[in-house]
């Protein structure tokens, strides 16, 4: 609105309304962080700041830079010598879970070390509760070891996670995932390239899911005894859509390229990783019981598996052909190369050259 237009505001009441609107817009821009240092929230600049979140579990948290082994506080809080060799103490231990918001702003938390083989809910966060929001957090090069509910970002989450990523090694007994041990919330636009190992319910991204997973992927490894999946170990009562796994998967029973066992819904998903096991082994799903698998595929050549409890097996050439997916109703577009992604679609593919990739990747 220009100066001439402003002169047409004759009443003080109208002017007040206008000023209030301007103030609201300014606040919204500030919150979005459009090129400026965020003005609200607790700012995290070192490991001491991160550790202090325990006293502000319902707060608004902003990560302001990368954290790694050279950042202040690492040795005493998150290193292999911290806490008598146990490393990092997870944030939000039940019955006092994390309920606030954490904006990583695209920065990475690196070199996290946790060795708590007798503990439950193990990760950077122990328990993320309903209502919590985690966005833009990357836990890279982590070394995490726990017992039940183990993940690099969180042992247990009922919150909303978006644009969260992980690499490193994650190990535990049951409910073990590269990003989250057990998800009862929302995970979207997220990934893990971690090497994950455990006994039961082991997944490249999530150990057990009874929430919502969408537009996410795993590219590491998943190794366990039973309920072992490239993306999700056991999709118990949740939904998984528009997601994929290229993770290598190895187990004994209930082993699948995408999910070891599915009792809920899988749609518009695919897997390409090698899958090995002894009983109830599938290229896409090891076992589907009281669940559905729709418009989903696996590569029969790279997986080494000709069968699956749900989904359709395709050759590598077919898996790289856009028609395989567009004919199934996927929101996908062929692009000239992966440097020219079309964000208007969920999936992008270089026809006859690549597997589908999520447009955010």
Q: Three-state DSSP class for 144?
A: strand
Lookup: tokens for 263 = 């009792």
Residuewise pLDDT in 10s, the chain (361 residues): 433 333 333 333 333 433 333 333 333 333 333 333 445 799 999 999 999 999 999 999 999 999 999 999 999 999 999 999 999 999 999 999 999 999 999 999 999 999 999 999 999 999 999 999 999 999 999 999 999 999 999 999 999 999 999 999 999 999 999 999 999 999 999 999 999 999 999 999 999 999 999 999 999 999 999 999 999 999 999 999 999 999 999 999 999 999 999 999 999 999 999 999 999 999 999 999 999 999 999 999 999 999 999 999 999 999 999 999 999 999 999 999 999 999 999 999 999 999 999 999 9
The secondary structure element, H or E, covering residue 97 is none
Q: How far is CA 29 from CA 23, 34, 40, 108, 234, in A?
A: 10, 6, 12, 24, 41
Peptide bond into 79 cis (omega under 30): no
Which domains are present in the chain? 1-36 (no CATH), 42-330 (2.160.20.110), 331-361 (no CATH)
Instruction: Name residue 258's beta-bridge partners.
Output: none
Structure tokens at 20: 């209030």
Give the Cα separation of 172 and 1 in Å (integer). Answer: 59
**Nearest of 80, 191, 187 to residue 144 by alpha carbon:** 80
pTM: 0.90
């Amino acid at each position: 609105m220009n100066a001439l237009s402003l002169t047409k505001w004759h009443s003080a009441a109208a002017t007040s309304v206008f000023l209030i609107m301007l103030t609201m817009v300014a606040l919204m821009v500030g919150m979005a962080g459009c090129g400026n240092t965020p003005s609200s929230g607790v700012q995290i600049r070192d490991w001491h700041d991160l550790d202090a979140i325990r006293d502000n579990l319902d707060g608004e948290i902003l990560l302001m830079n990368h954290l790694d082994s050279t950042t202040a506080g690492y040795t005493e809080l998150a290193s292999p010598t911290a806490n008598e060799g146990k490393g990092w103490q997870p944030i939000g231990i039940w019955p006092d879970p994390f309920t606030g918001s954490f904006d990583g702003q695209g920065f990475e938390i690196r070199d996290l070390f946790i060795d708590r083989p007798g503990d439950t809910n193990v990760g950077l966060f122990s328990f993320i509760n309903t209502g919590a929001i985690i966005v833009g957090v990357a836990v890279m090069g982590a070394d995490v070891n726990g017992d039940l509910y183990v993940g690099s970002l969180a042992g247990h989450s009922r919150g909303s996670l978006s644009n969260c990523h992980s690499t490193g090694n994650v190990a535990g007994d049951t409910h073990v995932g590269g990003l989250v041990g057990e998800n009862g919330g929302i995970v979207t636009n997220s990934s893990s390239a971690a090497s994950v190992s455990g006994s039961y319910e082991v997944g490249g991204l999530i150990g057990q899911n009874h929430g919502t997973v969408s537009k996410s992927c795993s590219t590491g490894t998943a190794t366990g005894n039973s309920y072992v999946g490239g993306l999700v170990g056991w999709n118990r009562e949740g939904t998984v859509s528009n997601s994929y796994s290229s993770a290598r998967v190895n187990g004994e029973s209930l082993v699948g390229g995408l999910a070891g066992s599915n009792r809920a819904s899988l749609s518009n998903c695919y897997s390409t990783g090698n899958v090995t096991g002894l009983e109830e082994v599938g290229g896409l799903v090891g076992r589907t019981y009281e669940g559905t698998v729709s418009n989903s595929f696996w590569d029969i050549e790279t997986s080494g598996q000709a069968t699956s409890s749900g989904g359709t097996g395709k050759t590598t050439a077919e898996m790289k052909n856009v028609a395989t997916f567009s004919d199934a109703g996927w929101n996908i577009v062929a692009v000239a190369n992966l440097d020219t992604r079309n964000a208007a679609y969920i999936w992008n593919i270089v026809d006859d050259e690549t597997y589908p990739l999520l447009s955010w990747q």
